[in-house]
Structure 1
Amino acid sequence: MNHPFPNIAIVGAGISGMGAAHLAYALGIPAFLSDAKPLKAKDKELLEQWGIGYEENGHSMDRLKAAAAVIKSPGIPHTSATIQALKNAGRIVLGEVDWAAQYTKAKLIGITGSNGKTTTATLCHHIIAAEKDAVLAGNVGQSLAGTLADRMQQGQPDPEVVVLELSSFQLDDVVQLKLDQGILTNITPDHLDRYEYDIRKYAASKMQLATYTTGHFIYC
């Protein structure tokens, strides 16, 4: 299998970061995880089991800059000093969903919105799963990377359809994601502290879903 990035650095553990680490392990891609906070004992145990190096309570910038690409957890803002330094150094920084999507040929359905996105994503998955091998991932339940890694290790085939619940934070991390279908439930003020208390910037973040959708786009 050809990999777009021969090695990666992961900034931030959490569900997305650990999912990316798991997928890197399943694919045999060298990876290094860095978190500004202490790591959970269980996460350390898993990283050691997967043979993935890690650090906690800070970032070794030289090591992060040495990676072919940096996978960023959605909870870390692009304005953070670490992310800005990596971008200024010319490093590719992308989100876990964007990176993981390169390793599936499934039809991708992206769903976002200020309210109702979890209900909509869950319902869509329930309906589709009645006839196809479909998984639900993203901002609900498990990360896309973690879901794909689990299936690989269990010897399961690539899913036919992936229903992705996407937060505005995850949409902000997209570099090259292509969705087959997109659904935007609504836009109401939320997470404005992340967007300089400007509803227009928040709305623009949500509307990115239309840009990344190659097929039908539904705005409820």
Structure 2
Amino acid sequence: MKCIIIGAGNAGRPVARILNHTGNQVIITDRKILEEFPPGVQKTIKTMEDEGVELMLGSDASKGIEKVDHAYVSPTVPGNSPIRKLLQDKQVKILDNDYVSKVINDILDLDIIGITGTLGKTSTTHILSDIFQSAGYNVWTCSSRMGNLLSEVIVDGIVNGLHKINDIAILELPHGTSRLMSKVDLNIGVITNIYPDHLDEFEYSMEKYVARKLFIVDSSKILVSGMQCINYLEDLRDDTIYYCQENSKCNVNGKLKDGILDITYDMPNLNINGHFETSFKLLGYYIENSIAASAAALAYG
């Protein structure tokens, strides 16, 4: 496949790199020249060029259309833009995020746990990774500690073969990254919570924000969620495993007393129940994140 990526921004770069990695001929275009990008982005673009992506920066994207049969257009490019019309006139097939997500899904042949939500994603990701590492697993951990653009971090991990040398991937999935991960099969999906943050990115619509977060409902074989999300999920899945702090209505319930975190769990759909205690150093909201990580690890088995 010969493909042109319109826009070398946050959406276009990881798409260009993953398509190139899977054996396609890829051109990436942008009106900006290389030096106009931030230093970190310049480094990524140069890496892509070294890997075989053809750069057409600071030039008219129409010049590259004659060379290709497929195109990916960054979401920031207006729907009525001349370049979109030109692609239509030239009958160039448009690739969407679902297509790219399926490409990533075909590559990732290891078990995956994905964590989304508004608050606590990063902490939950690392607590869960520590649990699996302590159990002897080789873990590919991907969180915002590794970089601000998680889709780019995940693609970089794929290109460098991290999915081949680890037993399990534990991936933080913020709403921006969900575009490229919406069709990736998750063994366990975790939603920490959904609060009205980042609404400026969703036309100040809580409904649109919630919809973006809930991509994980269909992607997850087993879904784990904070009790705060029950109103969003109860009509979508009746097998969600809910966790919370000191609330007997949850499937996984955690209580902290005298430096001991007490976890009681009952997951009828998985036929497991029980109780354990562990020493715990109090760090505020890490209690909830630790309960979330415990619930996901127990659900995994």
TM-score, normalising length: structure 2: 0.56
1:3 alignment counterpart: none
After TM superposition, list the pairs within 5 Å mapping 1:122-137 onto structure 2: 122-130=126-134, 131-137=136-142
| Alignment: residue pair count | 207
3-state SS of the aligned residue for 1:183?
A: strand
3-state SS of the aligned residue for 1:162?
A: strand
- The higher radius of gyration belongs to 2
Match of 1:177 among 157, 181, 184: 184
> Do the aligned partners of 1:171 and 1:205 also contact (CA within 8 Å) in 2?
yes
> Do the aligned partners of 2:129 and 2:141 also contact (CA within 8 Å) in 1?
yes
2:257 alignment counterpart: none
Change (3 A) 1:169 1:45: closer
Structure 1 residues not aligned, in runs of 5+: 1-5
Change (3 A) 1:197 1:157: closer
Counting aligned pairs with the same residue, the percent is: 21
Structure 2 residues not aligned, in runs of 5+: 148-152, 227-301
Q: Which has the higher strand share?
A: 2
Match of 2:29 among 34, 47, 50: 34
3-state SS of the aligned residue for 1:189?
A: coil
Change (3 A) 1:59 1:141: farther
1:141 alignment counterpart: 146
Q: Which amino acid aligns with 2:72?
A: V
Using CA pairs below 8 Å that are at least 6 residues apart, which structure has the higher relative contact order? 1
Q: Does 1:216 align with 2:227?
A: no
Distance 2:184 2:77 in 1: 18
Distance 1:174 1:141 in 2: 17
Change (3 A) 1:174 1:105: closer
3-state SS of the aligned residue for 2:196?
A: coil
2:46 alignment counterpart: 45
Q: Which amino acid aligns with 2:142?
A: A
Q: Which amino acid aligns with 2:161?
A: R
> Do the aligned partners of 1:8 and 1:71 also contact (CA within 8 Å) in 2?
no
Aligned-pair Cα RMSD in Å: 3.5
TM-score, normalising length: structure 1: 0.73
